[in-house]
């Protein structure tokens, strides 16, 4: 038996339009806390946590879905859940299961369409359709603006380097996962109030669930594919558009029907519960958390803050003559230690490594190098550092050697060693050098 549902609350009924439709609802955030954990389930039990500034309201019969956390900041190392490493494969599998759509296959399909020119790069066009500056600036929700800006910066940082290395399969995965995560969060934030089933103007199939919560995931999926097709069209890749339309047609869970209706009809989908920290590159990999925490404590250095200050040290938009401080650092350390594994071409052999992991590995290796130098010099007596290390570094390193009497002094000299060595390795990279100087001035 079909169930007819009319007009979402607080939204005026719109006339039928031929183009892509904006989702129902308002962009105002009611004040309820959205930091309540992963929204992998749409069962309204237990009730969601509310902000202290917004006490719980009446007992609704149809509660909003639990929401994925967006409170974690890049590089803070805030984690929850299992200890398995974040991978795009895992992200796509969660999207596959939640939306009954093979996003893994879609990523493979899109990876075949490499950019014809920088102005017509399909992945950037697709991403720009979902998250663009005018949309973020005009959105009334501060949380949506902050999340969008964070995701946008992550995409810019990773996209440019991956494009330089022609890693289009990874760019395809990055684009899909970031766009879907943003749309999930956007819909959850825009619809904190329950949706009354009797006010939705669609006809659903007999086997579709009548739980009103399940309409929001269908809106997420519909919106994503509308933006996907629009971005492909703007990139001028007609063949890609044909293949995506074929993908939509072959979907067995109602995607084609949802795309043809003003409002989606599929009711058995759910949110993936994908957290920002689950996305590779969004935060430092869990593998490095323990050592970063130990060294941060031992030397009173905010290493995660330093990772963020270094930022993306590679960029396609920089002049070819601009040096990479991390490559310079490892080249100098490799020359001093005579270890081939530390040479840049070996140490940075993973071309798909996110920049936060790249920064973390480099800092850990530098701290290990400074510690080993101190140990050897205590055992063998003082030796002169190589000239390329710089006279200021020699003074700081000598202080580190002589500072065994006090923990505070060791902390200060380790900070000074890192500051002098890293800023010296920046050479003509003024942007990274300014970020480092600003970081160390505040510590």
Q: What is the pLDDT of residues 107-125, one digit of tens each?
A: 999 999 987 776 667 899 9
Mean pLDDT of 356-366: 98
Predicted TM-score of the model (pTM): 0.74
pLDDT greater at residue 345 or residue 73: 345
Exposed, middle or buried: residue 310 (CB in 10 Å: 0-12, 13-18, 19+)?
Answer: buried
Instruction: Quote the tokens at residue 271.
Output: 């949110």
Residue 202 parent element (H or E): strand 202-204
Cis upstream peptide for 347 (omega within 30°): no
The DSSP code for 280 is: B
Q: What is the pLDDT of residues 221-264, one digit of tens each?
A: 999 999 999 999 999 999 999 999 999 999 999 999 999 999 99
pLDDT category of residue 306 using cuts at 50, 70 and 90 = very high
Of 404, 412, 405, the closest CA to residue 299 belongs to: 412
Q: Confirm if 310 and 328 have CB atoms less than 8 A apart.
A: no
In sequence order, which ranges of 235-347 are alpha helices (DSSP H)? 238-250, 255-260, 289-299, 303-310, 325-337, 344-347
Q: How many Å apart are CA 326 and CA 332, to the nearest integer?
A: 10
375 pLDDT more than 50: yes
Q: Quick count: other Cβ atoms within 10 Å of Cβ 436?
A: 22
Q: How many Å apart are CA 304 and CA 250, to the nearest integer?
A: 45
Residue 358 parent element (H or E): helix 355-380
Q: What is the pLDDT of residues 89-103, one digit of tens each?
A: 999 999 999 999 999
131 pLDDT more than 50: yes
> Dihedrals φ, ψ of 127, to 5°?
-60, -40
Q: What is the pLDDT of residues 397-416, one digit of tens each?
A: 555 555 444 666 777 888 99
In this prediction, residue 413 carries a pLDDT of: 81
pLDDT category of residue 128 using cuts at 50, 70 and 90 = very high
The DSSP code for 145 is: H
DSSP letters of 15-27?
PP-SSPPPPSS-S
> Is the backbone of residue 273 left (phi > 0), alpha (psi -120 to 50) or beta?
left
- Which of 183-192, 311-320, 360-369, 405-414 is predicted with the least confidence, judged by mean pLDDT? 405-414
In this prediction, residue 319 carries a pLDDT of: 66
Q: What is the pLDDT of residues 196-227, one digit of tens each?
A: 433 333 334 333 334 455 689 999 999 999 99
Of 289, 292, 311, the closest CA to residue 154 belongs to: 311
- Which of 25-29, 157-161, 238-242, 355-359 is predicted with the least confidence, judged by mean pLDDT? 25-29
């Amino acid at each position: 038996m079909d169930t007819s549902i009319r007009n979402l609350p607080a939204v005026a009924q719109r006339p039928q339009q031929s183009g892509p439709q904006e989702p129902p609802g308002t962009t105002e955030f009611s004040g309820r806390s959205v930091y309540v954990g992963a929204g992998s389930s749409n069962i309204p039990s237990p009730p969601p946590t509310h902000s202290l500034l917004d006490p719980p309201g009446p007992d609704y019969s149809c509660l909003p879905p639990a929401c994925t956390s967006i409170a974690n900041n890049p590089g803070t190392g805030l984690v929850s859940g299992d200890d398995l490493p974040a991978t795009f494969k895992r992200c796509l599998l969660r999207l596959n299961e939640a939306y009954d759509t093979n996003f893994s296959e879609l990523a493979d399909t899109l990876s075949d369409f490499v950019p014809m020119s920088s102005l017509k790069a399909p992945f950037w066009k697709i991403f720009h359709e979902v998250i663009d500056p005018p949309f973020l600036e005009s959105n009334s929700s501060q949380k949506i603006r902050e999340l969008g800006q964070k995701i946008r910066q992550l995409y810019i940082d990773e996209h440019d380097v991956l494009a330089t290395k022609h890693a289009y399969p990874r760019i395809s995965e990055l684009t899909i996962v970031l766009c879907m995560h943003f749309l999930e969060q956007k819909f959850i934030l825009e619809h904190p109030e329950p949706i009354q089933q009797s006010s939705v103007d669609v006809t659903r199939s007999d086997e579709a669930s009548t739980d009103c919560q399940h309409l929001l995931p269908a809106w997420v999926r519909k919106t994503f594919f509308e933006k996907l097709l629009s971005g492909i069209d703007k990139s001028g890749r007609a063949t890609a558009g044909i293949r995506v339309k074929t993908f939509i047609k072959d979907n067995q869970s109602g995607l084609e029907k949802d795309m043809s209706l003003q409002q989606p009809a599929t009711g058995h989908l759910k949110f993936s519960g994908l957290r920002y920290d689950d996305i590779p590159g969004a935060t430092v990999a869990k593998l490095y958390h323990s050592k970063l925490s130990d060294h941060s404590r031992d030397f009173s250095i905010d290493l995660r803050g330093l990772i963020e200050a270094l930022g993306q040290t590679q960029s396609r938009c920089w002049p070819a003559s601009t040096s990479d401080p991390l490559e310079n650092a490892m080249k100098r350390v490799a020359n001093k230690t005579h270890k081939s594994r530390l040479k840049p071409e070996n140490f940075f052999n993973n071309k798909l490594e996110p920049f936060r992991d790249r920064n973390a590995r480099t800092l850990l290796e530098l701290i290990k190098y400074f510690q080993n130098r101190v140990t050897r010099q205590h055992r063998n007596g003082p030796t002169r550092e190589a000239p390329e290390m710089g006279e200021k570094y020699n003074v700081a390193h000598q202080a580190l050697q002589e500072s065994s009497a006090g923990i505070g002094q060791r902390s200060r000299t380790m900070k000074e060693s890192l500051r002098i060595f890293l800023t010296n390795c920046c050479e003509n990279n003024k942007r990274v050098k300014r970020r480092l100087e600003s970081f160390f001035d505040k510590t």
